[in-house]
Structure 1
Amino acid sequence: MTAHSRRSFLRGRFDEAPKMRPFGAVAPAQFADLCTSCGDCISACPEAILISGERGLPEIGPALGACSFCGVCIAACDTGALTDDQPWLWKATAKSTCLSLNAVQCRTCQDHCDHGAIRFQLQTGGCAQPHIDTDLCTGCGGCAAACPVGAIQFTQVTPQMETRP
């Protein structure tokens, strides 16, 4: 399930996908209010995966590389837009343009997934289909950076609430 921002809704952008903000970003509406677009987090990122997006607000460019979740961007943020107590709710999914989904042998994303979240399941006819285990996927972007056709996208999931027995 994808969560949309209140700002997008009020601007009539009902189908606008949420932006992949830096690790530690607070809720979208609060982030837009707190972030000054100073670029400190972008400059501080040792992985160089942060870019300046709409209105200068930082976004992760998953095609640029994997996030190591090191927290340097959080330390560089003086406004409170990035904090170390925010859950990372992004998970990888394969788009229909995935080579394996189109009968072309490719397992590059699996080779670049350090967490073993991507496996390929052989289907009738000899084609293998990607299967991404959302429990293992950290949403780091390593698979997206490696994909030769840019077929990996990220969706924001709803956090699961713990229930008490």
Structure 2
Amino acid sequence: ANNKLGEFKISGVQRAKRGEPKVEVTFSLDANGILSVTAMDKVTGAQAKADIKADRGRLTDSDIERMVADAERYREEDLALARKIHMRNALEEAIYSVKSSLTERNDIAGISELDDFISWVETDGESATYEQLSRKGDQLYAKFGIRVDASSRMHNM
């Protein structure tokens, strides 16, 4: 939630079309937590200044600690989910690469065996764990000789 800390108005700004006034806004925060905001019209020189002390709506040390812990916990969950999604995508990509190769060779028996993998990904792939997806990738490799590698996608994270 946002906490309104204060407001100020600058008068004497030269009239101009929307978005055209040349106003420079400067923010500075001192060691005592006082925020100084200065706005100056670069054409007329008109300016306004406000000093804002954060004496209300501040977070306590325990609030900050809790928020940092929550952020770390969610970060780990997000990374685990991203890892799983990358593995599923890599598995799907490998399956469809095999399917393309089998189709080109008109390998009906191979396509039939591959249909089990396709069916599994379509029905169970979304809810599967990373480990289950990885095992299915190992099975695909054992059966068709194509390695499922999600790590090449993960280095960008």
**Normalising to structure 2: TM-score of the pair?**
0.25
In terms of fraction of residues, the more helix-rich structure is 2
Q: Which has the higher contact order (CA 8 A, sep 6+)?
A: 1
Which of 1 and 2 has greater Rg? 2
**Normalising to structure 1: TM-score of the pair?**
0.24
